[in-house]
Amino acid sequence: MAIEFHCPYCSATVRAGDEYAGKRGKCPHCHQSVYIPTPPERIETLDMSPLDARSEQERERLLRETKDLTRKILTDRTAVDSGPPPANSGEGPPPPRADLESLVFQYAESMAAGDLATAEDVAADLRKDLARTDKVVQRILMDEMLPPRLAKIPRPVLVGFFKQLRSG
């Protein structure tokens, strides 16, 4: 008995011999490689093994813990990100790390918005302590998820902004 199915590329009806079930072949119409399905009557049913209640509970506990930690991290980041940008006159001690991070965020946001005057003012403050600024930038870029304030800016664009900050 022949297997009959529709090509996923050209929608033509294709017929193949039973011996080709579960293999790949070329559609005679469009010559694309297609999967030849196994007829339902030839598919074996397998009994499911019973769930291990302990491992399922452990999986759910770990999932809850992961969600809680993620929520806490995002909350902590938002609290740091939402602080007001510091005013640094260039005199005195360098800004604290959270303020430096806010300045980096403000620089990237200004660049993305096309507000180059503000970006250059912030960049001047950041260049006063370029070593610490580089550490903050590297930490931001090393994170898998960008901080919420920068999430809308594509990562390659951010990298370009930060290279410009360093070379300016």
In tens digits, the chain (168 residues) has pLDDT values of: 689 999 999 999 999 998 999 999 999 999 999 999 988 787 887 777 777 888 889 989 999 999 888 888 877 766 655 555 555 444 555 555 558 888 999 999 999 999 999 999 999 888 888 888 888 888 888 888 888 888 888 989 888 988 888 887
DSSP state of 129: T
Residues 33 and 91 in one domain: no
The answer on 95 and 157 residing in a single domain is yes
In a domain, 36, yes or no: yes
Residue tagged 């010559």 (tokens): 31
Give which of 75, 139, 131 is closest to 105, Cα–Cα: 139
Give the pair of three-digit tokens for residue 114. 């096309």
- Residue 75 within any structural domain of the chain: no
Residue 57 lies inside a defined structural domain of this protein: no
One-letter amino acid at 109 equals E
The pLDDT, as a whole number, for residue 31 is: 93
Structural domain boundaries, residue 153? 84-167
What is the pLDDT, as a whole number, of residue 79? 61
Specify if 32 maps to a domain: yes
CB 21 within 8 A of CB 7: no
Using an 8 Å Cβ cutoff, are 83 and 98 in contact?
A: yes
Q: Is residue 25 part of a domain?
A: yes
Q: What pLDDT does 166 receive?
A: 85
Distance CA 49, CA 105 (A): 52
The Cα–Cα gap between 5 and 27 comes to 11
Number of domains in the chain: 2
